[in-house]
Chain A
């Protein structure tokens, strides 16, 4: 079983709509979680951190549920530029070692 599991998608989303997806993690010792965004053939870039009960940044809302060991990401008012692969990432030690999910692909269509 993978440490961080994500639905690979793709999630096809009309422009302006809302999309939400989850990831689950098995390492209960993980303290910090992040959503990274990766465009095709580019490097992962931090989208937002998820530390405790959740985090909101503009159109993006991330929620952490420790009891059920899942993290969600919601994107409101989707833009064409939101098309990317979203990586769910857990920090597994205090030195910043990251554990990645395989990513969820989002495709926003006009």
Chain B
């Protein structure tokens, strides 16, 4: 079974440009999460989709970040315009259950390493 896949694995862009990250969750997983790790810091929550709906976007840094999950399958995270502080590793995770999902493991993708120069 395919795991969570993320594309691209690496991206180097100039400040002010736009980048779109993609996440394909495990098939059948309703929950999809985006997390980010900036250098030297812990992994931090960005947002959570249940199917195509945003359940929680409290971790989104600002309005330069836009996440979508059309059709409840794959998700995209767009950064426009990118700033230097957006550099980091962006992880996507998915899990199977909805509410009361305490016992459901979240599987992570290998991440997209974003460098803004």
Residues of A with Cβ closer than 8 Å to B? Answer: 2, 4, 31-32, 42-46, 49, 51, 87, 91, 93-103
Contacts and interface: CB of A to CB of B under 8 A. Distances in A.
Nearest to B110: A43
A32 B102 contact: yes
B50 A95 contact: yes
Contacts of A31: 102
Contacts of A42: 110
A93 to B, nearest CB: 8
Contacts, number: 61
Contacts of A93: 56
A82 B93 CA distance: 23
Nearest to A3: B42
A107 B101 CA distance: 33
The main secondary structure of chain B at its interface with chain A is loop
B56 A45 contact: no
Interface in B71-108: 91, 93, 95, 97-106, 108
- For chain B, the bracket of interface size reads 20 to 34
Given A2-B42, A43-B109, A97 B102 contact: no
Interface string B17-55: 000000000000001010100000111110010100001
Given A94-B101, A95-B48, A100 B106 contact: no
